[in-house]
A and B are shown apart, each in its own frame.
Chain A
Amino acid sequence: MASFFGKLTPGKSKKPRERPARAEEEHAQLHESDTEMFAELDSTVFQRFFYYAGPYKKAMFVATLAVLGFTLANLAVPLIIKIGIDTAIAEKNSSLLAIVGIALIVTALVQWVSNYLQRILMTRVALEVLYDIRADMFLQIQRLGMSFSDKTPVGSLMARMFGDVGALQEMLESSLEVIADLLTIVGIVVVLLILDWRMALIALSVMPLLFLIRVIWQPLARKAFLRMRRNSSVVGVYLDQNVSGIRVIQASNRQKANEEIMSGKISTFFSSANKAARLGGVLMPTVELLTGTALALVIIIGGMRVLDGEMGVGTMIAFLLYVQRFFEPIRTLTMHYAILQRAVASGHRIFELLDIPIDVKEKEDAKPLDDPQGEVEFKNVTFGYDPERPILRNINFTASPGQTVAIVGPTGSGKTSLMALAHRFYDVQEGQILLDGIDVRDIKQDSIGKAMGMVLQEPFLFSQTVMENVRYNTRYATREDVVNACKTIGAHEFVMLLDDGYDTILEQRGSNLSVGQRQLISFARALVANTKILILDEATANIDSYTEKVIQEALQKLLTGRTALVIAHRLSTIRNADKIIVVQVGEIVEEGTHDELIEINGLYASLWTTNYSSFDDIADNADDVLETPATST
């Protein structure tokens, strides 16, 4: 068994990467739907798209020339052969034959160079454009306010960044091939007409039929193909569920039942795959029949004309060679049309995202906050994710530099929203939030970040090293700073126990650490950032008593010397606060020190005397969902 694991896990850090590796492919698959197949081709999408291609005009021009050369070279080959046969060979002219032979080789060279150039250039342009669009989308997502992030599932954004952009790339890469195909078809028709227009008309008569059949067949086959892929992803999703949930499955004795379900899904997939295979291949005999007919016509009519001396045999051979090339450009052309449709649909989604107006915007004349003192003031603040239903009403309080303000209240009272507002994740509806007496809307966003740190209830760690996670955006922090912060917080010991210490790459979401350890890392991150103001959402759930003790101590160290707004759950934190604000249904109902609030004998006092070890226990957990804005929209 040991050797098996050895083989499976070459490097620990690699493990979590495997699943997202297929992301692009998967998103692309999930995103294709029947409706897209029949999407209208919209010119505005192209216009905007070519705007992105603008900087690469030169490369595109050269690539277009290359395509031209490539196509012409291809078209010339049968003609050169015709000349060789009808002129050189028929007249038994060896030197002319040598020239024609060399001409053919030169043509091959032209074809080679232009083909290579065209492919390389177009791939480069496509990749650059794709990069520009992706970067713009990324930037846009970074700029859009939290209200956008709340409403939009990560999966759909990922699908846009990867699947949709990929579809555009595919279109760009194939756009030159479309030109080549069109040129080839037109070229063949023109050349044949010039060579012998009567025979050309007869031989070409199958071309519209080939077109028609492809056009009818293509959507049908694509539909079958898409259905197959969807069924295939159903199998994948079910496999994923079963691998992830294997412990529950074995504990519930569900193996047999699940095997039956899986077997059903696999056979659905199998039959749709068979159908797709049938549809995919069914065109073959028809195409062969038509091409064969065209060849046969050339043989009969051409043959008779050669016999009658009206046509050189080289012309006849050239005809045969051209006819054999009919189908290829028709095939790819219809394929490219499907790519085009998909790209337009993707383009719509991409530009839709880029066009969303930015709600929390930095003002042109926003001021930097060079030396923050750490005073935070809420002035008559009213706010709601839905303006019709404010979550916070008329909030007034001040946290003076160095003070710890504890915010308590039942679940769903609006505490988290209050925190988010302080950092300007959202803009207030009414009133003002002031940092050192300046409205946050007048301060540069970078300055807010430098003045204000934040520790979230659920620590979020990136799949990078511990070092990078702790340092995060504090670029000037040295390795020593990071180690010192971890020592202060009490994280150093367990970090050193990891395989590569501070250079250990964390697994997705830091799943190789315990909840408490993740919390401590996020504390260390805030300590390294060393901001004047700290916003902290305490979490107590899922932490064992041993870690709890460490965290309590770390918390005290983190809070000293800073202005802190704390959504407090621990009684110890609350007791130590300079001021306690009790929030209920979006309003401040009580405010003061612990003793003062006990004196008032109001909500705080009653919460206090319920004798729970944590304020979390006050409200039933069932209300948790109501607080997060994501689910309320």
Chain B
Amino acid sequence: MTIGYKWHFGAAVAAAIVSSILFLLIPRLLGDGVDTALLAFQEEGVVRSEIQRDLIGIALLIIFVSTLRGTFGFLQMYLGETLGQRVASRMRMVYFEKLQSLSFSFHDGVHTGQLMSRGLSDVEGVRAFVQSGMVQVFRVIIMIVAAAILMSFLDWQLALVSLSFVPFLVLRSAMMRLRLRILWKKIQDALGDLSTTMEENLSGVRVVRAFSAQRYEEEKFDVGAREVIELRMDAAKIQASGGTAMSFAFLVAWGIVLWFGGEKVIRDELTVGELAQFFAYLAILQFPVRMIPMLVNSVARAAGAGGRLYEVLDIDPAIADGPDSKPLNITDSVVRFEDVSFSYHGVSALEHISFEARPDHTIGIVGAPGSGKSSIAHLLPRFYDADSGHVTIDGVDLKDATTRSVRAAVGLIQQDPFLFDGTIKDNIRYGDMEASDEKVIEAARIAQVHDFIDQLPEKYDSSIGERGTGLSGGQRQRVAIARTILTGPPVLIFDDSTSSVDAGTDARIRIELARVSEGRTTIIIAHRLSSLMHAQEILVLDAGRIVERGTHDELLALNGRYSELWALQQKQATEIEE
């Protein structure tokens, strides 16, 4: 994914290399300074002004190199970070587009939270890797290798003694980082549980009160909070022991250098300035050595995150337009199911369903939950594909048409509609952002929700909170109805979409709809039989099969399931007449 960013990457790495080399020059310069002064002091007959000139030269060089190093350090950081952000932005977009294109059967099987954590934290993991991992790794390697070489040039024995601990330390802390990774995951989970407990305690406050369960809830909270503390403590211990061991080892190295190095100075095998260089190198080395375990962690995280992202990105959308797909040309809007069978995640949902719905014609569908009603509703906008048989509109199989045109032709209103954060107006014109205010109001009027909206302080500009919680179930259903009829689809499916709307309003919606939409084909799925009793044909579904079909009167005469259902719903009404 970074191929498009070759230059950017190259520049970042170059900056990292230059800044590392410059960084390593500084101890050298400091040592030179010390030696210049000391040697002059020890020798007789030196010219003071010459030494001063030398020192000023070294000093200026130090300032120059420091500033240059700072500048390249900045460049490296900036380029690395922007590179990481570029890659991450691109990944976010690709991921987003992929999610939008994946079909319902994908989304049904995945929890929102999982898709979110892929889109947020996994992308973030990849970003962190690109930024720090890929760029920093050069810097770390160069600094460690170069410092080791430079130190060996000064005195290989001393270098060996003082650096011998580094590999062990690195290995140990890298392993610790990996252990910490696992622990942090646990902490995150525990925190998640704790916040779920908390959130449910608050949202379910009425239940808590009703059962006087405050103490019970406190205990629940207590257990969760304690667990988090202990886990955090474990993590803190690992972190503390890792970090402190590192600085301990470095200080011991200083001690060794002072001791043995000093011995060498006494024996005139090393100058004081070179000893000073050793100290300075050790000081500088701390940084890249500390970086290694972080890099290991970053690679581990990115490998996992990248894998999870590609799991999603590599899925072929089950429903996509083929090269021969043509836009649907609606002439009569005749909907036909021809011997359609459909299974959902391996479980048969529909078997041999055939029916036809014509313009100005309403099909009613009833059945127990799980009998396959919603499957019919979902096959029509081609959210899924049938296993066998044909679903056609005006004689064209949906599989041969572009999905865009199919969905423009079919309006499906679901029982539990999702409303977006935003104003009511934006929600209603979701399918057509160009729609005029008049069109929005007209749709709301038909859906019998205009009067309600009109009495809100901000009317159509009232914002509805997350998932439209500010509205009652019935109001949300009606906003969803307005949203769908705004686009004027020739085929309309109500999937139990007025279940929370009272019977009177339900009837008014239907009357209004009939008034404005001549030639529309309608399919109504409902529990409330009064919603569909006037349909030209009613299908009674059971376990994915049509068990009864006919008009309301025909079905009553059949004395089967429909009439049983009718009796059940009428029982309450008839009680009155007793």
Contact = CB atoms under 8 A, between A and B. Distances in A.
Contact of B263 (A94, A270, A460, A575): A94
Interface stretch (B1-9, B244-252, B390-398): B244-252
B37 A303 contact: yes
B70 A242 contact: no
A423 interface: yes
A4 B258 contact: no
Given A259-B96, A297-B59, A92 B248 contact: no
Interface stretch (A193-201, A314-322, A386-394, A557-565): A314-322
B248 A100 contact: no
Contacts of B10: none
B254 A77 contact: yes
Contact of B117 (A22, A111, A237): A22
A618 B407 CA distance: 36
B266 A545 contact: no
A541 B500 contact: yes
Contacts of B167: none
Contacts of A241: 420-421
Contacts of A297: 59
Contacts of A143: 214
Given A97-B263, A100-B258, A288 B67 contact: yes
B577 to A, nearest CB: 9
Interface string A476-492: 00000000000000000
A251 interface: yes
Contact of B472 (A253, A280, A621): A621
B221 A18 contact: no
B272 interface: yes
Given A89-B262, A473-B216, A245 B77 contact: no
Interface in B306-353: 311, 315, 318, 346
A167 to B, nearest CB: 15
Q: How large is the interface on B (under 10, 10 to 19, 20 to 34, 35 or more residues)?
A: 35 or more
A445 B48 CA distance: 92
A575 B577 CA distance: 13
A174 to B, nearest CB: 14
B149 interface: no
A128 B221 CA distance: 15
Interface string B411-431: 110110110110000000011
A214 to B, nearest CB: 15
Interface residues of A, number: 176
Interface string A222-247: 00000000000001110111111111
Contacts of B69: 288
A570 to B, nearest CB: 7
Interface string A254-280: 110111001100110110011001101
A97 B216 CA distance: 67
A257 B189 CA distance: 36
B29 to A, nearest CB: 8
B146 interface: no
Interface string B535-575: 00000000000000000000000000000010011001101
A21 B192 contact: yes
A292 B66 contact: yes
Given A257-B433, A296-B60, A141 B202 contact: yes
B388 interface: no
B82 A274 contact: yes
Contacts of A317: 34, 272, 275-276, 279
B265 interface: yes
A97 B262 contact: yes
Contacts of B202: 141, 149, 154, 157-158
A448 interface: yes
A278 B503 contact: no
Interface stretch (A53-61, A119-127, A429-437): A119-127
Nearest to A255: B100
A544 B526 CA distance: 9
Contacts of B112: 19, 240, 243-244
B483 to A, nearest CB: 8
Given A81-B254, A241-B420, A454-B210, A463 B196 contact: yes
A22 B121 contact: yes
Nearest to A97: B262
A542 B211 contact: no
A112 to B, nearest CB: 4
Interface string B80-96: 01100110010011001
Given A243-B99, A299-B55, A529-B211, A107 B251 contact: yes
Contact of B93 (A9, A262, A285, A449): A262
A248 B417 contact: yes
Contact of A544 (B119, B207, B211, B527): B527
Contact of A18 (B109, B192, B216, B576): B192
Nearest to A631: B470
B62 interface: yes
B463 interface: no
Contacts of A22: 117, 120-121, 188, 192
A296 B59 contact: yes
B500 A108 contact: no
B172 interface: no
A277 B78 contact: yes
Interface in B155-205: 188-189, 191-193, 195-196, 198-205
Nearest to A103: B255
A292 B575 contact: no
A112 B240 CA distance: 10
B573 A18 contact: no
A555 B31 CA distance: 90
A105 to B, nearest CB: 4
B218 A142 contact: yes
Contacts of A299: 30, 33, 37, 55, 58-59, 62
A289 B67 contact: yes
A615 B402 CA distance: 46
A306 B51 CA distance: 11
B11 interface: no
B241 interface: yes
Instruction: Give the most central of B104, B236, B368: most A CB within 10 Å.
Output: B236
A85 B272 contact: yes
12 contacts: A19-B117, A21-B188, A22-B117, A162-B195, A242-B99, A243-B112, A246-B100, A259-B97, A277-B77, A284-B71, A542-B415, A613-B573
| 4 residue pairs, one from A and one from B, having the closest CB atoms | A449-B212, A292-B66, A101-B259, A288-B70
Given A22-B188, A248-B483, 20 more contacts: A17-B192, A100-B259, A115-B243, A119-B240, A120-B237, A127-B232, A236-B120, A240-B112, A246-B104, A263-B93, A266-B89, A277-B82, A292-B64, A295-B59, A300-B56, A448-B212, A449-B212, A453-B211, A570-B572, A571-B575
